[in-house]
Structure 1
Amino acid sequence: MSVSRKLTPSSFDVAVLAKELSAILVNTRLNSITNLSKTTYLLRFHASTTAIDQCQTKDQMLIDTYSKPSVIIEPGFYMHTTRFDWSKAIPPTAFSNRLRTEICNLICTGVSQFYFDRVIIMEFSRYNSEFKRYLIVELYGRGNLLLTDENYKVLAAQSKMAGQHLGGNYFSMHGDDRVTLVDIEKLCTLDHFKQIIARASKQKGQNACFRAALAKDFFLGGSASAIVLRAVNCKTSIKAKVVQEDEELMMKLWRVCEGVLKCLIEAAKSSFTSLLSRGYIYFYRDDELTIINTGEGDLDDTITTAIRVAEYHMFDIRSIYQEGTLYRADDIKEYESYNRTLDEYNSFLVTARAYQSRAQLIQKAKLTLAHAHDTTEDRMASLLSSAAQKRLLADCILWKAAEIDYLTKQMEFVFKTWHVTWNDIITWLNCGSANIPFLEAISSIDTIKKIVSFNISIFASDIHDMSYEDCTPFLALSKAGVTANQEIPDLEADYGTEDDPEQQTCSPRKDGEAKPISEPTEAIIISVDVPFKGSAGTNAHTIANTLFEAAKEAEQKCERTLGHSSAYFNKVEKKATAEIDSAIKETDAKLIALQHQRPPLWFEKFHWFFSTDGYLVLSGRDAQSNELLVKKFMSPHDIFVHSEAHGAACTIVKAPRLTTADTIQQNKILRWIPPEQTMLEAGAFTVIHSKMWAQKIGAQSYWVYADQVSKTAPPGMYIGTGSFVIRGKRNFIPQQPLELGVALLWRYDAANVKNPDSDVLLPWQLAYSDKNEAITCTIEEVGQVPDESNKLLVLNTQKQKSQITTAEQTIKDNNKDERKRLQKERQAKIRAQKQQAKIKRLISEGRLEEAESYKKRIAEQGDDDLQNSAEDAGDSYPLEFCCLCGTLGHNKSLCTTSSMGKDYKKLFDSRVSPLLATMWKSIATIPTFNHNSGDTAICTNDFPVEEDQSYPQEGAEKAGGEKNMTSLGVSAMLSTKRPVGDELPGLVVMLAPYSVVRHFFGIIRVVPGDITKGKAHRLVQKMLLDDKGLGLSRYEQLCIKQIPEHAVVLGIPGSMNVQSCRTKK
């Protein structure tokens, strides 16, 4: 079957989407605008810190989803929030740059549907300011994206459309045909349904289709209209006139149409009273699709699911008609919000389109190769068959040589004696002359080539005498293909014999299929062509020799074809293989399965890895992150690692929970003795992230306890950002090789992930488990370390360069429109001064006529400017637009129709979005919503308050190790266990010293070299995907293709060389 998918939303879809977007985006700030393609945009928003801090839930996934929403827009197709990682982007277009200039860093103050049209309008402004900008998204036809000012004057547009121009008022250009949901509800009657059919029956072309009329007049859209037709087993191309003529069919269609309309209207109304609306995605059954095998093995479940996707709706189709529903329960997925429904649906489409494009290219190359094989085989079979038939015909001619020669001589006798022409012979055949009996043996005559075809009878006795056992070849050779029913005339009989008129024709008989019988009961008629030169005919032996030569030539040609076919096949196969490889290479980057955006782990803002002994090691990226790492994330028992190498990063090793059997006395402190291997790896990590990497030289490092690190400067010295003072004894670490390893870890949502080959927890799980395992530690006196005051070292790290924008420049950027207006006024004033100066010069020179003509031209230009100004004033729309209800005539502060209107002021005073407001302890009037997170349903009035796992502040913990300073649940989600079955974990890239990861799966070794680190991302992806020994599943390949560039590039300190540990390249 042909795959038909829903691509564009209906007005009902847009109504629900706009309400949800309003609940999510209002009072959020627009941070960035990114181009995913020339017509696709990704807008990232962020809620205020105050709004996030007052949320009752600590579910990071829930908070990130609604406090940092991202909206993807493709005009004409979709607009919705997205939770997927769209890592691929292109340079911004001119329109994107204009959007960044106008609306970036502004607050989204409203999102609404324009009446009941497929248009969404977003309002941006500043708090306590009259400055406004409107972003208008058109989701019909080709689609468009427009930016207007506070007077709805179009400032910029993505595309040029008929009826739209820059500087014009958008609402005046949009037309006056506006309806609301209430108007549509009034039209849901049987009379109006019949009127729609009556109007459509008078139309032509596509407008005459019942589906098109229903989609247009009831705003259902093509997909929902198709549901109405499928419910009564009608073709989607049925004409409205056919429906009008069948009263019973019309009533069936109306009953289903009424049910669909009621479901849509109910869903649209429910979106006004609740913040999130449910959505459904429908999939084709497995037996409805034929998936093309590309020869790359079994497809991943993710790709198979994406190929089966069909459509999405805001209602359950099964609630409309239960008899013979098109979709089974297993083919329907339900989601808690409509935005997520579209997000999942479009992610499926991305994968499905990429695979279909890939499959079509590969199938085309395979068909080319198969066609070459079939063509060659058919050619050889045709040559062999032709040679066999010619030999058989030659044998028959030799066997019937006397009869053929006799007929030829009779023709020669007629030409010579009666002096007739070829046209006379044709006339005799058509008239059925009875005076010439041998004419009955003629089947046809070619007067151009001078060839006469004689019918010769072959009997069963002839076949046996010719040493043939089967008559099947003779039947195939027969012109008629069946045995002859008529009696062959006696050629020596009297000329006055009366002939059958059916035999007196020069046209050949029709072909038929011969039955393979070994003993024919009647004669088999074959046709023999005898060429004539003038009045002389060719004898039978000459004709037979000619056929034998032709058969021999055909056999030789078949041998030559067989000899050349091998080289031809190799050439075609080589070309087809190249085309398949090219198709795979071209579509490889597009064949992806979009991954959900997972909240970043708290330590991913630093360089990090887990040591061989299972301890978390963190290192700063620059001076600012070094300062943050030491001040906020280093607890009293952690280990601080540094190097005397210039530019070395500050590194800390997170200590476990310390326990001891001895009682800690007064003036004693509990010390943790870190494992030697962990310290070697941490020291190597510190030196790697220093200037030593570029110099390709190793260096020593050292470690101290956290209480030896201070920001207190010695007298007369200043300690800047990222610099620290170390007091006391330093423990030096031997020099280690400068080698990094790129390892792949899988982030599972379930805790306590175990190695599939062992029941033992992975090392980094043991490090943060709640067990009180024995940790090697010692008890030292508190005053022991500070007494070594003579050992003091000041660490300085390189600061990160930052751009400084002056307050004056900021004010200028915020007043660009005013500057443009003043510039235009200055230019007009200068132009007027030049015109007056030219008039004075002409008068002074006595050129009065030229001066008067120049004055008239200036006056005409002035009149044109006034007329244009009047037209612009006429385009201005006197009515105000409400961004809450999407109608004209009032503003949002006076809106009474929107459910959010009464809470609008309260929301803006609190500067919180409606969805985040439901998570607050107050603001009870906001409509509630339900959100499913895993197996736990989190409701508005019952948010679980999780234990605060905030990161340690400086000095917050004293000696004794009462609290684990790192979140225990985070590390348990990382594992080297590869995904199997239905598991879909996220991929995390860990860059660690090579000694840590050398036994891991799929390791890439990185050493100092000459390749710029910007190429590391592409090289790592290519080496992992090209390594056949890894046995990557399709899901693992898709995840590797989507590794973010920053995850690899930021972890490599400089120029490098890479080597795969399996291929040694």
Structure 2
Amino acid sequence: MKVKKSMSSLDLYSWLKWCRDRILNCYIDNIYMPKGNLIILKLKCKSQSFNLVIEASRRIHLTKYTFKTTETEQYKIPLFCTILRRKIRDKKILNIYQYDFERVVIVEIGRVEPEYKLIAEILPRGVIVLTDRDNTIIYASEFREMKDRSIKVKEKYTLPPRIGIDITSLSPKEITCKVKEYAKSTIVRGLVRALGIPGELAEEICYRAGIDKNRRVETLNTQELNSIVKALSDILSEVNHGKGYIVYDGDTPITVTPYKPVATHGRIVEYQLFNDALDEYFTYYMRLEEELSAREKVEEEIARLETSLRKQCELIEKYRRESEKYKRIADKLMMNLHILSEFLKCIRSQSENWYKAIDKCKSILNETVTIKSINPSKGLIKVTVNGDNVDLDVRLSAYDNISKLYSLAKEFKVKAERAKEALSRLEEKIRELKSRMELETIKARVAIKRREWYEKYHWLITPSGFLVIAGRDQSQNESLVRKHLKDDDIFLHADIHGAPATILKVEGSKPSSRDIEEAALLAAVYSKAWKLGLHVVDVFWVYGKQVSKSPPSGEYLPKGAFMVYGKKNYIRNVALKLALGIEIYNNSYRVIVGSEDTVKSKTKYYTILIPGDEDPYTVARKVKEKLLSKCSEREKYIIESVDLNEIAMRIPGKSRIVE
């Protein structure tokens, strides 16, 4: 099975069926553009916030992941992102729909009436386009001139040519008629062409119908055609359940579907929501692409240096051979110094021309040294010494000629040593780049980080693994009690005016006294006691069933307030001392808080805070610097990628680092 690259029409149909109502009437709080063909709409809705990711030619869904986009001087906000912020930020999503069962999603945006359309083309070579209400293009993720349409500013937007048909509205008779039109095709190909469906869906239909996909359509009988119709009907019925499925080949996801695929031998993971399956599947491949991109950039540099390395090795070998050659010749000539001296004296004493002088004097030489050629204009005689050629200068003495050869041998030896030093520097640089390649891969992986639902609150995980959440403001206190507090949960509150509603989620298990004490710490440190600079504060706890949002008759409860009935259990003198650390796991991280023992059990990179006089952002910077000084080179890269805001958000208020 081929790896799925983009959402199909059926995928879009299923996703919109279950997510449309969650998105409608949400305000667009901000727009981000981590990549040229990918935008993220931060949506603010009545009860919660969402991030809607739209990637041309690939996907559209809500995501739990954050994509790091550091808007600094080095990062220039794309013009399309700037225009989107100017036009649609703070406006409402009034409608979102799939155009005619094609791979095109249209989002209508405005305050009361639609003012703009954001069009996401999920088909091959698709784009994201912003138009006005009359379909005039304002801007796009990419501008193109195509055979049947063009994407240009101020031109009317034209939809892509139709590819498929709406299979959800076809009757059984219409399906069989359309399939029969491709009588000469194989069944699987006939289904693809007749219904405009992807190959994986056509194969699934054949498998469920119990029909060989490679048979010809013309061989199908009425019963088999009915089996095909029923298989498609069953799949569409499953799609309406809203679940999602990812198929794995080993550890690699290869497809994601809104129905449970049976025509596969891969491992299948089921998700309660198709949106979550889409999020996991496509984020996996986005992270993989980012990692590969980061590696490729470094690999190109390594390849260039390795070419230089090979040339340097060749140069070292050349210098070594030259040095050895000149030393070898010099040694031989030194052994024949007397003969060489007599020969050169003989040459210099002759007044005849060079050729006659050579004829007269060559008898002085022995078989070790033979004359190969002469260059009278330069005063050089090329001789062969045991197979090695060398020039002798007749104007110099034999000793000076030999000294010159030794000097050349030494010179090439020095060159070889310098070349070796350069080689060592190249090798070191390559080692550094290979190390950097791993770190760049980690950086790319960390840049795409899953954000859990509870991370918008104050939170911690107790020693036994219980989740504790606390409100950041009155609105969150209200929503926590109304939405997340169950009868068996433990509700905690610092015994001071101005404290968060805190919940220890028990999920059917019984927390220990240590778990409750850990939860009490969260309730205490994020209360007004920290801002007042107190050292301790009392915290009480009750069961969820003792807490009510209903006031006594004739009274009024303001937003974020609640009534507590029955006995309160007190934890006295909870120390306002908070451990804050960065937990590293699966080459990613999260900023954690809790007691020192709890945080220390999860990470060695932590510090201790108490109420002080430095603002959270200043403390966050100091915390990060302190933790960076402790960590290894590999982990340093992860901690460097931690946003200071992530640390500052976990700091209760003005603080001081004590260790």
Instruction: Name the TM-score class by shorter chain.
Output: 0.5 to 0.7
1:723 aligned partner, one-letter code: A
The equivalent of 1:124 in structure 2 is 108
SS of equivalent residue, structure 1 residue 741: strand
Q: Pick from 88, 106, 121: which aligns with 1:100?
A: 88
2:404 aligned partner, one-letter code: A
How far apart in 1 are the matches of 2:63 and 2:549? 41
Per-residue CA distance 1:584-608 (angstroms, 9 max, x = gap):
766652244856x5873xx655434
Q: In the TM superposition, what are the counterparts of 1:68-467 in structure 2 within 5 Å?
A: 70-74=52-56, 78-81=58-61, 85-89=65-69, 93-98=81-86, 100-101=88-89, 104-111=92-99, 120=104, 122=106, 124=108, 133=117, 135=119, 137=121, 144-158=127-141, 165-171=152-158, 265=193, 268-269=196-197, 344-361=284-301, 379=319, 382-393=322-333, 395=335, 398-399=338-339, 412-414=351-353, 443-446=372-375, 448-453=377-382
The equivalent of 2:213 in structure 1 is none
Q: Pick from 556, 561, 567: which aligns with 1:723?
A: 561
CA gap of 1:683–1:561, structure 2 versus 1, over 3 A, is same
Shift, 1:388, TM fit: 2.4
Shift, 1:352, TM fit: 1.8
How far apart in 2 are the matches of 1:70 and 1:723? 33
- Asked if structure 1 preserves the Cα contact closer than 8 Å seen for 2:93 and 2:108, the reply is no
SS of equivalent residue, structure 1 residue 700: strand
CA gap of 1:73–1:1041, structure 2 versus 1, over 3 A, is farther
How far apart in 1 are the matches of 2:158 and 2:308? 55
- Asked if structure 1 preserves the Cα contact closer than 8 Å seen for 2:538 and 2:573, the reply is yes
Per-residue CA distance 1:712-752 (angstroms, 9 max, x = gap):
76899754222346678766543233222346789xxxxxx
* Structure showing the higher strand proportion among its residues: 2
Q: In the TM superposition, what are the counterparts of 1:729-768 in structure 2 within 5 Å?
A: 733-742=571-580
In the alignment, structure 1 residue 35 sits paired with structure 2 residue 35: no
How far apart in 1 are the matches of 2:547 and 2:246? 57
Shift, 1:354, TM fit: 1.9
The equivalent of 2:211 in structure 1 is none
Q: Pick from 986, 992, 1000: which aligns with 2:594?
A: 992
In the alignment, structure 1 residue 1007 sits paired with structure 2 residue 604: no
2:290 aligned partner, one-letter code: V
CA gap of 1:675–1:335, structure 2 versus 1, over 3 A, is closer
Shift, 1:701, TM fit: 1.0
- Asked if structure 1 preserves the Cα contact closer than 8 Å seen for 2:521 and 2:594, the reply is no
How far apart in 2 are the matches of 1:445 and 1:572? 43
1:392 aligned partner, one-letter code: K
CA gap of 1:120–1:648, structure 2 versus 1, over 3 A, is closer
Gaps of 5+ in 1: 1-5, 51-63, 183-256, 284-300, 313-318, 320-328, 419-424, 426-440, 457-472, 480-527, 532-537, 659-671, 747-977
- Asked if structure 2 preserves the Cα contact closer than 8 Å seen for 1:615 and 1:678, the reply is yes
1:110 aligned partner, one-letter code: Q
- Asked if structure 2 preserves the Cα contact closer than 8 Å seen for 1:703 and 1:731, the reply is yes
Q: Pick from 17, 35, 39: which aligns with 2:8?
A: 17
More relative contact order, 1 or 2 (CA 8 Å, 6+ apart): 1
How far apart in 1 are the matches of 2:247 and 2:548? 58
2:502 aligned partner, one-letter code: T
How far apart in 2 are the matches of 1:281 and 1:711? 45
The equivalent of 2:540 in structure 1 is 703
1:737 aligned partner, one-letter code: A
Shift, 1:260, TM fit: 11
- Asked if structure 2 preserves the Cα contact closer than 8 Å seen for 1:701 and 1:734, the reply is yes
- Asked if structure 1 preserves the Cα contact closer than 8 Å seen for 2:287 and 2:445, the reply is no
- Asked if structure 1 preserves the Cα contact closer than 8 Å seen for 2:59 and 2:122, the reply is no
Per-residue CA distance 1:517-551 (angstroms, 9 max, x = gap):
xxxxxxxxxxx7565xxxxxx37xx4522321113
How far apart in 2 are the matches of 1:395 and 1:606? 90
How far apart in 2 are the matches of 1:657 and 1:612? 17
How far apart in 2 are the matches of 1:179 and 1:716? 64
How far apart in 2 are the matches of 1:713 and 1:69? 36
SS of equivalent residue, structure 1 residue 106: strand
CA gap of 1:621–1:111, structure 2 versus 1, over 3 A, is same
Q: In the TM superposition, what are the counterparts of 1:589-738 in structure 2 within 5 Å?
A: 589-592=443-446, 594=448, 600=453, 606-611=457-462, 617-630=468-481, 633-634=484-485, 640-652=491-503, 677=514, 680-703=517-540, 705=542, 719-724=557-562, 733-738=571-576
The equivalent of 1:551 in structure 2 is 405
How far apart in 2 are the matches of 1:630 and 1:263? 52
RMSD over aligned CA atoms reads 6.2
Shift, 1:697, TM fit: 2.5
1:87 aligned partner, one-letter code: F
Q: In the TM superposition, what are the counterparts of 1:866-881 in structure 2 within 5 Å?
A: none
The equivalent of 1:227 in structure 2 is none
1:109 aligned partner, one-letter code: Y
2:36 aligned partner, one-letter code: T
- Asked if structure 1 preserves the Cα contact closer than 8 Å seen for 2:51 and 2:64, the reply is no
CA gap of 1:68–1:25, structure 2 versus 1, over 3 A, is farther
SS of equivalent residue, structure 1 residue 353: helix
- Asked if structure 2 preserves the Cα contact closer than 8 Å seen for 1:87 and 1:1044, the reply is no
Shift, 1:156, TM fit: 3.0
How far apart in 1 are the matches of 2:542 and 2:355? 129
> Which is further off, 367-376 or 1002-1011?
367-376
% identical equivalent positions = 18
- Asked if structure 2 preserves the Cα contact closer than 8 Å seen for 1:113 and 1:121, the reply is no
1:547 aligned partner, one-letter code: N
1:552 aligned partner, one-letter code: Y
SS of equivalent residue, structure 2 residue 560: coil
How far apart in 1 are the matches of 2:398 and 2:386? 16
- Asked if structure 2 preserves the Cα contact closer than 8 Å seen for 1:679 and 1:733, the reply is no
2:560 aligned partner, one-letter code: G
SS of equivalent residue, structure 2 residue 535: coil
SS of equivalent residue, structure 2 residue 68: coil
1:100 aligned partner, one-letter code: I
Shift, 1:995, TM fit: 4.4
Shift, 1:1043, TM fit: 7.4
Shift, 1:1007, TM fit: 0.3
In the alignment, structure 1 residue 474 sits paired with structure 2 residue 386: yes
Per-residue CA distance 1:197-241 (angstroms, 9 max, x = gap):
xxxxxxxxxxxxxxxxxxxxxxxxxxxxxxxxxxxxxxxxxxxxx
- Asked if structure 2 preserves the Cα contact closer than 8 Å seen for 1:36 and 1:90, the reply is no
CA gap of 1:349–1:333, structure 2 versus 1, over 3 A, is farther
How far apart in 1 are the matches of 2:194 and 2:245? 13
2:386 aligned partner, one-letter code: F
Alignment: residue pair count: 559
Shift, 1:698, TM fit: 1.4
The equivalent of 1:781 in structure 2 is none
SS of equivalent residue, structure 1 residue 648: coil
Per-residue CA distance 1:1033-1060 (angstroms, 9 max, x = gap):
x9xx97x88878876544331244568x
- Asked if structure 2 preserves the Cα contact closer than 8 Å seen for 1:84 and 1:594, the reply is no
In the alignment, structure 1 residue 1051 sits paired with structure 2 residue 650: yes
SS of equivalent residue, structure 1 residue 105: strand
1:1005 aligned partner, one-letter code: T
How far apart in 1 are the matches of 2:248 and 2:570? 63
How far apart in 2 are the matches of 1:606 and 1:84? 15
- Asked if structure 2 preserves the Cα contact closer than 8 Å seen for 1:134 and 1:152, the reply is no
How far apart in 2 are the matches of 1:342 and 1:635? 34
SS of equivalent residue, structure 1 residue 1054: coil
CA gap of 1:722–1:82, structure 2 versus 1, over 3 A, is closer
- Asked if structure 2 preserves the Cα contact closer than 8 Å seen for 1:387 and 1:555, the reply is yes
How far apart in 2 are the matches of 1:630 and 1:415? 112
2:616 aligned partner, one-letter code: K
Q: In the TM superposition, what are the counterparts of 1:524-543 in structure 2 within 5 Å?
A: 529=391, 538=394, 542-543=396-397
